[in-house]
């Protein structure tokens, strides 16, 4: 079995509501993301649609290693907040970080679902988050004591967990709050939940997954560009 060196996970990450919410997969069509099934719609506070998907991966010693799949859900109304990009081709959107900034800041509910492909220790995944968030906030001169403390709590939440294949990590971003609810689902165990309340750290996590050229998954960014180019052409 191939285990990935701790430092490679750090390298990968540098590639670029307070109450719990119950998520329901609507009886609808499924979308396969690297052979992992994602419902095309889920219900959270509102009905959300799968508008982007992809994987994180890396070439290691000539072996293509896939880490986890990603599904990104939004309220369909998100399109109304992106009208300045109407008529743009997918390639142009993909290369325009202003488009992804507008997508991140749109006042709609967002939900990100990760499904593990290559097993990983929670501590290693936590290092990815720590590195990505700290570097982004430091570059924007937003990494203060409050952000450091909030990030430490996130790392602590993941620290003792072990993500086997098909383990699930979700991030829920409410429309009316600068918080994020993180949920971990492991086989044979009750779900673990953590609410992140530091707005700057929440924003940095959004950018890690949705931030255009700064995001961790280029395939997810390409998928979002293709979907929104089509939606904005209607």
Domain count, the chain: 1
Q: Residue 19: inside a domain, yes or no?
A: yes
Q: How many CB atoms lie within 10 A of CB 139?
A: 11
Whether the pLDDT of residue 156 is over 60: the answer is: yes
Confidence of residue 227 (pLDDT cuts 50, 70, 90): very high
DSSP assignment of 69-112 equals: EEEEEE-GGGGGG-GGGTT--HHHHHT-HHHHHHHHHSSS-EEE
Edge-to-edge strands, sheet with 24-25: 24-25, 41-43, 47-60, 63-74, 110-116, 168-173, 180-185, 192-196
Over pLDDT 70: what percentage of the chain?
Answer: 88
Res 20: pLDDT: 44
Note whether residue 85 is domain-resident.
yes
Short-list 16, 58, 51, CA closest to 215 = 16
Residue 14 clears pLDDT 80, i.e. is over it: no
Asked if residues 88 and 232 have their Cβ atoms less than 8 Å apart, the reply is yes
Res. 13 pLDDT band, cuts 50 70 90: very low
Which pair of structure tokens corresponds to residue 4?
Answer: 């990935």
Compute the average pLDDT of residues 101-108. Answer: 98
Residue 4 above 80 pLDDT? no
Residue 159 has phi, psi (to 5 degrees) of -50, -50
- Please give the residue range of the domain that contains residue 42: 6-227
pTM: 0.89
**Assigned domain for 1 exists:** no
- Cα–Cα distances (Å) from 166 to 26, 71, 209, in that order, read 20, 14, 19
Please enumerate in sequence order all residues whose Cβ is within 8 A of that of 222, keeping only pairs 6 or more positions apart, or say none. 54, 90, 94
pLDDT of residue 127: 94
Q: Which residue has the higher pLDDT, 227 or 59?
A: 227
Distance CA 186, CA 184 (A): 6
- Which CATH number fits the domain that encloses residue 173? 3.50.70.10
Task: Answer yes or no: is 186 within a domain.
Answer: yes
In a domain, 189, yes or no: yes
Confidence at residue 22, expressed as pLDDT on a 0 to 100 scale: 53
Decide if pLDDT at 24 tops 80. Answer: no
- Higher-pLDDT residue of 18, 177: 177
């Amino acid at each position: 079995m191939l285990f990935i060196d701790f430092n490679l996970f750090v390298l990968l990450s540098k590639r670029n509501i307070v109450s719990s919410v119950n998520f329901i997969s609507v009886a609808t069509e499924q979308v396969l993301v690297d052979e992992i099934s994602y419902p095309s719609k889920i219900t959270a506070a509102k009905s959300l649609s799968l508008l982007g998907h992809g994987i994180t991966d890396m070439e290691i010693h000539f072996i293509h290693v896939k880490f986890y799949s990603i599904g990104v859900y939004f309220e369909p109304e998100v399109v109304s907040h992106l009208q300045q990009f109407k008529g743009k081709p997918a390639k142009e959107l993909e290369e325009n970080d202003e488009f992804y900034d507008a997508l991140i800041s749109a006042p709609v509910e967002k939900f990100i679902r990760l499904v593990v492909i290559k097993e990983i220790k929670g501590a290693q995944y936590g290092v990815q988050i720590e590195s990505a968030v700290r570097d982004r906030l430091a570059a924007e001169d937003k990494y203060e004591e409050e952000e450091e403390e909030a990030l430490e709590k996130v790392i602590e939440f993941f620290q003792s967990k072990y993500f086997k294949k098909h383990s699930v990590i979700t991030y829920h971003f409410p429309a009316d709050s600068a918080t994020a609810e993180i949920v971990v689902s492991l086989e044979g165990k009750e779900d673990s939940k953590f609410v992140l309340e530091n707005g700057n750290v929440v924003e940095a996590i959004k950018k890690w997954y949705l931030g255009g050229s700064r995001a961790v998954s280029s395939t997810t960014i390409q998928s979002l560009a293709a979907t929104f180019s089509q939606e904005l052409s209607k």
